[in-house]
């Protein structure tokens, strides 16, 4: 059983809380669907389905979801591993890491998503805000990351939605995703958009929604090396291939992971110490001293209970 301590983050349809296991004191993250959406059966199904999708792949770079259930008041929730870090988007906006660190991060993202693909799952929403950079570095001082948020993930063999709805984040969506038919190669395109923006500091395409759709579906992007003149030729070519309009011309995630992992230490030779420590993270606000696992503050009605049924 778990108790809620405090709110960590709030998204468009859900809220994440810091929780603790009642018996062991282990910290967890508890994601709940906001009360407004509890009556929407598809939204409830989507949240609970994240657990089943996450169980299809195990990888150090993938968020682990421990269980999924509903409170007595019918609020669906997920219990996830607690991660101490900040989003890649926040990190880059605050103080961009050296390129070698970005390559190491990209290699880990590709490796983690390759494991998802091997489990038959397409993430469908890769973007900097869905990658968490952990505060504690990995072996050799390299940054460690976790790919999070399976809210719009789907099975690779799942049929396109019958209502024609398009889901994802427009700045990172592949042409086929705009047409409601994402595949594993759509994740490759999204990671290509991420790498492009990380190394050039500008998005592949920008503009309002109609212009973004037209650009991603029909326009060729400017080569990243034209915006970043000291870009390694191997990385330039890799990003261009990842952004191919034809999904079949994009490389597989495992190949991308291997290429980035090989490039990272070479790039790091201009200063290994520069990648050994990322810029210090902004301290996470700590819960007030009087807040305990029995002090729920503004937690939605129905969550101010022990979340039970899972030991």
Q: Which of 84, 125, 230, 246 is catalytic?
A: 125
Spatial strand order in the sheet of 14-21: 2-10, 14-21, 27-33, 76-81, 65-70
- Annotation marks residue 294 as catalytic: no
Contact partners, residue 110, CB within 8 Å, separation at least 6: 191, 253, 254, 256, 257, 260
Cα–Cα distance, 225 to 123 (Å, whole number)? 28
Rounded Cα gap, residues 194 and 191, in angstroms = 5
Contacts of 223 (CB under 8 A, 6+ apart): 236, 240
**Cα dihedral across residues 227, 281, 29, 146: positive or negative:** positive
| Tokens 């998204």 found at | 11
Instruction: Tell me which DSSP letter residue 219 carries.
Output: P
* Alpha-carbon gap, residue 241 to 11, rounded angstroms: 33
Catalytic residues: 125
């Amino acid at each position: 059983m778990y108790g809620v301590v405090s709110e960590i983050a709030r998204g468009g349809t859900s809220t994440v809380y810091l929780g603790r296991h009642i018996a062991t004191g282990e910290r967890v993250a508890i994601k709940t669907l906001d009360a407004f959406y509890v009556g929407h059966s598809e939204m409830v199904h989507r949240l609970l389905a994240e657990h089943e999708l996450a169980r299809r792949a195990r990888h150090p770079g993938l968020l682990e979801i421990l269980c999924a259930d509903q409170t007595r008041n019918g609020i669906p929730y997920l219990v996830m591993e607690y991660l101490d870090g900040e989003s890649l988007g926040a990190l880059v906006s605050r103080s961009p890491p050296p390129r070698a660190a970005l390559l190491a991060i990209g290699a880990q993202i590709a490796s983690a998503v390759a494991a998802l693909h091997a489990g038959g799952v397409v993430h469908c929403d890769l973007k900097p805000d869905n990658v968490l950079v952990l505060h504690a570095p990995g072996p050799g001082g390299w940054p460690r990351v976790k790919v999070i948020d399976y809210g719009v993930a789907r099975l690779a063999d799942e049929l396109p939605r019958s209502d024609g709805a398009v889901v994802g984040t427009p700045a990172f969506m592949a042409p086929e995703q705009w047409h409601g038919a994402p595949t594993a190669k759509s994740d490759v395109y999204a990671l290509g958009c991420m790498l492009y923006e990380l190394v050039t500091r500008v998005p592949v395409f920008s503009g309002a929604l109609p212009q973004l759709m037209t650009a991603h579906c029909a326009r060729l992007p400017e080569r990243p090396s034209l915006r970043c003149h000291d870009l390694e030729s191997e990385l330039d070519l890799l990003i261009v291939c990842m952004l191919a309009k034809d999904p079949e011309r994009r490389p597989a995630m495992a190949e991308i992971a291997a290429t980035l992992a090989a490039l990272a230490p070479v790039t790091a030779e201009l200063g290994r110490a520069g990648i050994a420590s990322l810029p210090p993270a902004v301290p996470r606000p700590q819960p007030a001293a009087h807040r305990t696992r029995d002090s729920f503050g503004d937690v939605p009605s129905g969550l101010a209970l022990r979340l039970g049924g899972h030991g």
